[in-house]
Copies of this chain bind each other. A is one copy, B any other.
């Protein structure tokens, strides 16, 4: 890695004239393994300008991802890789760089200061380097797991891809620091499930449910409620697909959108279009809670499985729909107009099963809170055996898709199914969850839930930048822990969530006061958020809150569509007892390890001056 003779300046100028525009690159020692036969089905632009285009494919049998990186205008090199949350420090990288004479390709990593080092084990394997009319095209592969402690483990869920542009030659890899480069990140689900888009019916129609060119309020958080009606005499249909319509320019403001159907118990609903917390909002709108479609930042179109569709229209079903749009406007921009919403695709030819959406996780209540300055605090919501026993059909339900949802401090979300006290399988897990990338994801494997099963949803939060406790609630600065699961056949159960018993939380405030000999407001008049705000956050108050959430009884919301609980006692319920947990996924090392070079691959540069 020592550059032989020419000084850096000479090298740079040599490079400028001879290499920058260069051309045919021949790879010295390419491995024999051929790329998979199919082309690359997934493609994304890494940078806003679209000059770095990544295509990829996944081989589940080889547990390997094949990457094709197209660099439109190569300067002195490029960095590409992955990191926990999209940072360029502590990243797992491939680097194509030049010292002015030769070009190199190497598996590298960046330390906490952004300095690049070569991996002791070369797990990114270069397969081909090709000059195409579009640019330089690098083909390489990487196993999901490598057992190199410096490598990123490629898992299900969100992957934060990172890139950097090298503008000039570097004498050595170690001379590169990511802090001086033009860099960026892009979030993707790298391990896309092997599921093809279901066939769409020939008699498919569409309708748009959107806000009527409204003025987005100049405040941080707005939930906009808009009432609309299905056509008169609209018969029973199945929604088979839907997609977002986001008004151009408002992409950063529209945080999530949901379409709810109103209850059939009222003949009609008043017209309304305004903030959901407005005093003008008719009370009736609280009866519009049956979810028809849900979209959040980062998601694309959503398809139902071929055997199921979401029913709407027809007798016994209300003609009234409520669109809810959550505008997140931290800069309090004024005067922006918006007509965002959702486009539903539906068919009159009903599919075999009605599909449904169910909310799992935590109730939106301040009793569930995260202390400040926590880097990985876990809150857990339960859908108990008692609720599934009561609400699910004897043959159970089948979950085929899931959308995880938290607000800004969410870092991981997982839902696990437990039966007879034992965790059985993961419904959906994202260990690199980002609130900025809330796709609805098809599950790799449909998960069947039987009556009596327990669904446990845990969210991990990072409140490292907060000074006060973060309580549960609707505001963007409050938190949620929700998994919207999409399933069939539809049941009456729409909400299966929990929160700690409020009485036990009051005991907690009392004991914190007792141990700290300080003033904590335990007076019943104070609101729970105010009580949390006055807790002195030391190791004891943190640990005991964690212990409380792992021990105290819970209040269950086991609710039907109409915001009505199923009959039964749902307060002070015992926490589900789990006697055996699923094993943590251990990184599997590739069974047979290729003897890998511990030095970068030299890519010999030929070429002609331009």
Which residues of A approach B to under 8 Å, CB–CB?
120-121, 147-149, 504, 507, 511, 514-515, 538-540, 543-544, 546-548, 550-552, 586-587, 589, 591-593, 595-596, 598
Least distance between A260 CB and chain B CB atoms (Å): 38
A583 CB, min distance to chain B CBs, angstroms: 12
A204 → chain B closest CB, angstroms: 50
**B contact residues around A593 at 8 Å (CB):** 121, 593, 595-596
24 contacts between A and B (CB under 8 A): A120-B589, A147-B149, A149-B586, A149-B587, A149-B589, A507-B514, A511-B511, A511-B515, A515-B551, A539-B547, A539-B550, A540-B547, A540-B548, A540-B550, A540-B552, A543-B543, A543-B547, A543-B550, A544-B544, A591-B598, A592-B598, A593-B593, A593-B596, A595-B595
Within 8 Å CB of A551, what residues of B? 515, 538-540, 543
Question: Given A121-B589, A538-B551, A543-B544, list of 20 further CB < 8 A pairs?
Answer: A120-B592, A147-B148, A147-B149, A147-B589, A148-B589, A507-B515, A539-B547, A539-B551, A540-B547, A540-B551, A540-B552, A543-B546, A543-B547, A543-B550, A543-B551, A544-B544, A544-B547, A591-B598, A593-B595, A595-B595
In the bound assembly, the distance between CA atoms of A538 and B550 in angstroms comes to: 10
How close is A257's CB to chain B, nearest CB, in angstroms?
40
Residues in B neighbouring A586, C-beta threshold 8 A: 149
Separation of A592 and B540 alpha carbons in the complex (Å) = 46
A544 to B545, CA, bound (A): 9
CB distance from A273 to the nearest CB of B (A): 48
**Residues of B contacting A550 with CB < 8 Å?**
539-540, 543
Chain B: CB-nearest residue to A597: B592
Q: Taking the nearest CB of chain B, how far is it from the CB of A440, in angstroms?
A: 34
The closest CB in chain B to the CB of A515 belongs to B507
Within 8 Å CB of A589, what residues of B? 120-121, 147-149
Q: How far is the CB of A98 from chain B (nearest CB, A)?
A: 26
Please indicate the chain B residues that have their CB under 8 angstroms from the CB of A507 in the complex: 514-515
The interface residues of chain B lying within 8 Å CB-to-CB of A120 are 589, 591-592
Give the docked Cα–Cα distance between A494 and B504 (Å).
46
Contacts of A587 in B (CB 8 A): 149
Residues of B within 8 A of A598 (CB): 591-592
A587 to B149 CA separation, bound complex (whole angstroms): 9
In the assembled complex, the Cα of A591 lies from the Cα of B120 at a distance in Å of: 6
Residue numbers in B under 8 Å from A591 (CB-CB): 120, 598
* Cβ contacts under 8 Å, A504 to chain B: 515
Considering the chains assembled together, what is the distance between the CA atoms of A595 and B147 in angstroms? 15
The chain B residue with its CB closest to the CB of A514 is B507
Given the complex of chains A and B, what is the CA–CA distance between A37 and B543 in angstroms?
54
Which residue of chain B has the shortest Cβ distance to A548 in the bound complex? B540
Report Cα–Cα, A247/B148, bound state, in Å. Answer: 52
Query: What are the 5 closest A-B residue pairs judged by CB atoms, nearest first?
Result: A543-B547, A540-B551, A595-B595, A511-B511, A539-B551
In whole angstroms, how far apart are the Cα atoms of A587 and B150 in the complex?
A: 12
Q: In the complex, which residues of chain B have a beta carbon less than 8 angstroms from the beta carbon of A540?
A: 547-548, 550-552
| A515, A539, A550, A552, most chain B CB atoms within 10 A | A515
